[in-house]
Chain A
Amino acid sequence: MPMWSAFANPHKFLGLSRWLAPAFYVAGAAAIGWGLWQGLWVVPPDAYQGGDIIRVMFIHVPAAWLAMASYSALAIASFIWFIWRHELADIAAKAIAPLGATWTALCLATGAIWGKPTWGTWWQWGDARMMSVLVLFFLFLGYMALRASMDSRQKAARAGAILAMVGAINVPLIKFSVDLFESLHQGASVITADGPKMAAVYLVPLLISGLGHSLLFGALVMTRMRTEIWDRRAARLAARQFEEA
Chain B
Amino acid sequence: MPEFDKNAAYIWACFGLGAVMILGIWLQVMLAAQAARTRLARLDTEDDPGGPQA
Contact = CB atoms under 8 A, between A and B. Distances in A.
Contacts of B10: 53, 56, 113-114, 116-117
B30 A223 contact: yes
A224 interface: yes
A99 interface: yes
Interface in B7-27: 7-8, 10-11, 13-15, 17-18, 21-22, 25-26
Interface residues on A, range: 35 or more
A111 B30 CA distance: 28
A114 B17 CA distance: 13
B26 A220 contact: yes
Given A40-B2, A117-B7, A237-B47, A223 B33 contact: yes
Interface of B: 2, 4-8, 10-11, 13-15, 17-18, 21-22, 25-26, 29-30, 32-33, 36-37, 39-40, 43-44, 46-47, 53-54
5 contacts: A52-B11, A223-B30, A231-B40, A234-B39, A234-B40
